[in-house]
């Protein structure tokens, strides 16, 4: 039995926003406070998405793992004050969300929810989402499916009616494990090659391509 998509579940960083300039800047402020060497933006991008534990581990030099808690505390104190300074929406984001008005839109992110809400409100996107979940809402962040399953349970929907849209393997894995359709975007923080290995249902190069994809599906019902 085929199910029509009613719910679109978006990731945030690397999918709706390019937050890497603010993330690398704040990570380097924290590293400087600890007397450690700065990281590059390419290093930072590799740590965006998997959650705070892996992010911290990837930001700290080898042998400094015992300073993870201190680094994360410093980083978050800098980031909450600077999280919208260099961050930008990807092209077409607001228009896409506007045109998806007939769908229920959900945000699931491994970024703390209070940070995600601040960013969404800054860019005027908060109103588009019926639900926003972060790591504080679940026991296990993505790629565990718990966040997506919790969103679907809250909405009273089955997984087959939802599509997860994200830029990393974590997003695709979480969606597949939850039983949803999956759509990978190639303009974020993962390469097309990595994303293809997870075999998402769809791969798009621009978020605006999502409109045609969903419209095409709707016409078949």
How many residues in total does the chain contain? Answer: 221
Coil/strand/helix, residue 95: helix
pLDDT in tens, the chain (221 residues): 567 899 999 999 999 999 999 999 999 999 999 999 999 988 888 888 777 888 898 899 999 999 999 999 999 999 999 999 999 999 999 999 999 999 999 999 999 999 999 999 999 999 999 999 999 999 999 999 999 999 999 999 999 999 999 999 999 999 999 999 999 999 999 999 999 999 999 999 999 999 999 987 766 65
Catalytic residue among 11, 13, 18, 167: 11
- pTM confidence score: 0.94
**11 tagged catalytic:** yes
The whole-angstrom separation of Cα 73 and Cα 90 is: 28
- Tokens for 51? 């959650």
- Tokens for 50? 């998997």
Containing 164, the helix (H) or strand (E) segment is strand 162-166
- Tokens for 103? 């769908």
Classified by CATH at the fold level, domain 7-18+87-219 comes out as Rossmann fold (3.40.50)
Q: b/e per residue, 20-58, with b = 16+ CB within 10 A?
A: bebbbbbbbbbbeeeebeebeeeebbbbbbbbbeebbee
Using CB atoms within 10 Å of the CB of residue 148, give its burial: 0 to 12 exposed, 13 to 18 middle, 19+ buried: buried
Question: Is 20-82 the same fold as 7-18+87-219?
Answer: no
The whole-angstrom separation of Cα 174 and Cα 185 is: 15
For residue 110, what is the DSSP state? S
Coil/strand/helix, residue 79: helix
- Tokens for 4? 């029509």
The whole-angstrom separation of Cα 143 and Cα 101 is: 27
Contact 96, 210 (CB under 8 A): yes
Beta bridge partners of 204: 185
Taking the domain 20-82, which CATH number applies?
Answer: 1.10.150
Domain layout of the chain by residue ranges: 7-18+87-219, 20-82
């Amino acid at each position: 039995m085929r199910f029509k998509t009613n719910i679109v579940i978006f990731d945030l960083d690397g999918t709706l926003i390019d937050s890497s300039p603010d993330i690398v800047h704040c990570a380097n402020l924290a590293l400087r406070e600890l007397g450690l060497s700065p990281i590059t933006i390419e290093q930072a991008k590799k740590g965006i998405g998997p959650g705070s534990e892996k992010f911290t581990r990837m930001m700290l030099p080898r042998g400094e793992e015992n300073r993870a808690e201190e680094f994360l505390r410093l980083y978050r104190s800098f980031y909450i004050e600077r999280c919208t300074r260099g961050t930008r929406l990807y092209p077409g984001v607001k228009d896409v969300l506007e045109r998806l008005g007939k769908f229920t839109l959900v945000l699931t992110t491994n970024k703390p929810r209070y940070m995600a809400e601040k960013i969404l409100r800054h860019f005027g996107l908060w109103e588009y989402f019926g639900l926003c979940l972060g790591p504080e809402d679940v026991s296990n962040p993505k790629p565990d499916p718990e966040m997506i399953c919790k969103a679907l349970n809250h909405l009273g929907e089955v997984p087959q009616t939802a599509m997860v849209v994200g830029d990393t393997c974590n997003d695709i894995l979480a969606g597949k494990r939850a039983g949803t359709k999956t759509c990978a975007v190639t303009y974020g923080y993962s390469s097309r090659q990595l994303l293809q290995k997870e075999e998402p249902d769809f791969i798009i190069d621009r978020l605006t391509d999502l409109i045609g994809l969903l419209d095409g599906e709707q016409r078949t019902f």
